[in-house]
Amino acid sequence: MFKKDINLSTLLKITILLIVISVTGLLTINSVIGGVIGFCVLTITAIFLVDFDVLHPYTWFSILFLLYSTSAPILMLIGETPESLYVHESLIVQWVAFSTFLIVLGPRQRKLSLSPGTLYGLKAISNFIFAFSIIISSISLLYIWMNGLGSKYDISLDNSIFSKLSFSYSFFILTYSIKLVYSIKLLEKLPYKLIVFSLSWGLLIIMISGDRDVFLRLLVVSFILINVLYINLSKLKLVILSSIMIFLVPLLHYIKNVGVSGSTKFTSNSNILIDVLSQEFDSASSNFMTLLENKNGWGFLWGETLWWDFKRVFLSSFPNITSTSPTVWFNNNFYPNIVEKGGGRGFSLVAEGYLNFGVFGSFLWFLLLGLFIRYLYKKAMNNILLLITYTLMIPIFMYTIRGDFSTLITFFLNHIGLPILIIYILKIFFERDKYIKNHQVLQ
């Protein structure tokens, strides 16, 4: 009976979702303003259907995709940026991608069923790697500061090994997450000192190297894991804290400017909302419009970018193999002046799909993304390490929206998969060494 009730509830939610998708589709087809309103309604509906469950992708992904899809159109509507002739078409295609994602994923919520036993064997090795990653990153930050490397471009051009130690950040974030969950689940307390220290370390990294990624990932992981495993905040508090995190984007940009260049200018506009939309979230949709505006300069690639993604991730280190990516292709073709200066404007996952097969490609790309996130979400509910992995992946999915599939694969392998593998190898090594020593004592 209970299972039947769940099925009926899920069926009702799916029915509501399909009705709202149909209505918002009509709004989006009608006009640009209708498209923006449609995206807002569809996002609110998705969040409502899962009761603001922060672990469910309907909550976090919908908010992110709303921001990335509508920021550029909103800035155009209010006259902050020149209007594109393709703004309406871009909204329609992004609505197709978003609707596909929601349908594939489904509104079904899953309950956590976690056994903390896995964490027991990770305490010692996590503490060791956490401390070691701080030492390594300290050496790197000290070198960057002493040599005045004021941007990611300067750091990438530097040939010293000391400027190439940012891999330690991934180990720092992963072991922080393990230590956080260990304290909450096994010690039943919130590790305030650990949280404050780690977030402060993330701010220091921003001020010295200009890299906001570490702090943002720490913030997202802390927010979600603490809410899910410890506090269970009310919906009002979740809305307030989520809004604060979004508005932190221009503040982090200010902190970066203060630390790296010494600038004390807080915002580039008198309206902080415009800064939020323009400094981070307008890139994906504006890049897609740029691609549409230059249709005559390129032809459909019929899936070739997937081969680019594969080569970039798995074959780029081999000699005599040249690799590119949809993001590199886009910036080289449309923003060569920025590329010459060591910069770039990212790309768009919707645009990558469109570049291959048109609207069908955007549909296909988000069908694949929805299936992957659905699988990861399902597995995370029953395994504490997979829950940590899933939570760590959320910022990576954010970067993927304004990147391409190689962004997803590269970040997953380098920033999560490899650190977890190394931790497990070291865990096995230490446990084996401990077993041998105990066995010798018994003999």
In a domain, 360, yes or no: no
The reported pLDDT for the residue numbered 49 is: 96
Residues 244 and 121 in one domain: yes
Alpha carbon 8 to its chain centroid, in Å, reads: 33
pLDDT band, residue 427 (cuts 50/70/90): confident
Print the domain residue range for 133: 117-265+409-442
The number of helix segments (H) and strand segments (E) in the chain equals: 21, 0
Amino acid at the residue 95:
W
Residue 435, judged by CB atoms within 10 A of its CB (0-12, 13-18, 19+), counts as exposed
Residues 200 and 141 in one domain: yes
Residues 90 and 130 in one domain: no
Residues 94 and 224 in one domain: no
In a domain, 313, yes or no: no
| Tally of CB atoms within 10 A around 429 | 11
In a domain, 380, yes or no: no
The reported pLDDT for the residue numbered 407 is: 87
> Which range has the top average pLDDT, 27-31, 253-257, 432-436?
27-31
Residues 93 and 146 in one domain: no
In a domain, 272, yes or no: no
Please state, in angstroms and rounded to a whole number, the distance separating the CA atoms of residues 288 and 359.
12
The reported pLDDT for the residue numbered 187 is: 87
The reported pLDDT for the residue numbered 3 is: 47
Residues 146 and 260 in one domain: yes
Amino acid at the residue 353:
G
Instruction: Kindly report the backbone phi and psi dihedral angles of residue 335, in degrees, each rounded to the nearest multiple of 5, phi listed first.
Output: -135, 55
In a domain, 357, yes or no: no
The reported pLDDT for the residue numbered 415 is: 86
Of residues 166 and 217, more confidently modeled: 217
Q: What is the mean pLDDT of residues 240-249?
A: 88
Structure letter (DSSP) for residue 186: T
CA-CA distances (angstroms) from residue 38 to 42, 66, 302? Answer: 6, 10, 30
Residues 252 and 123 in one domain: yes
In a domain, 239, yes or no: yes
In a domain, 314, yes or no: no
pLDDT band, residue 223 (cuts 50/70/90): very high
pLDDT tens per residue across span 199-210: 999 999 988 888
Provide the 3-class DSSP secondary structure of residue 147: coil
Helix, strand, coil percentages for the chain (3-state, nearest 5): 75, 0, 25
Q: Is 79 left (phi over 0), alpha (psi -120 to 50) or beta?
A: left
pLDDT higher than 50, residue 442: no
pLDDT band, residue 164 (cuts 50/70/90): confident
Of 47, 71, 105, which one is at a domain's C-terminal end? 105
Of 105, 137, 153, which one is at a domain's C-terminal end? 105
Residues 97 and 223 in one domain: no
The reported pLDDT for the residue numbered 250 is: 76
pLDDT higher than 90, residue 353: yes
Structure tokens at 396: 């990576």
Residues 231 and 193 in one domain: yes
> Which range has the top average pLDDT, 89-103, 339-353, 397-411?
89-103
Q: At what angle do helices 57-77 and 384-401 cross, to 10 degrees?
A: 10
The reported pLDDT for the residue numbered 324 is: 80
Residue 157 makes CB contacts below 8 A (sequence gap 6+) with: 342
pLDDT tens per residue across span 41-93: 999 999 999 999 999 999 999 999 999 999 999 999 998 999 899 999 999 99
Of 105, 133, 155, which one is at a domain's C-terminal end? 105
Residues 161 and 227 in one domain: yes
CA-CA distances (angstroms) from residue 390 to 217, 247, 284, 286, 395? Answer: 12, 24, 23, 29, 10
In a domain, 131, yes or no: yes
Select from 148, 343, 173, 166 the least CA-distant residue to 259.
148
pLDDT higher than 80, residue 323: no
The reported pLDDT for the residue numbered 352 is: 96
Residues 138 and 249 in one domain: yes
Residues 143 and 97 in one domain: no
The reported pLDDT for the residue numbered 273 is: 81
Averaged pLDDT of the chain: 87
Q: Provide the number of structural domains found in the chain.
A: 2
The reported pLDDT for the residue numbered 270 is: 58
pLDDT higher than 70, residue 439: no
Structure tokens at 246: 């979004």
> Which range has the top average pLDDT, 37-41, 144-148, 302-306?
37-41
pLDDT higher than 70, residue 286: yes
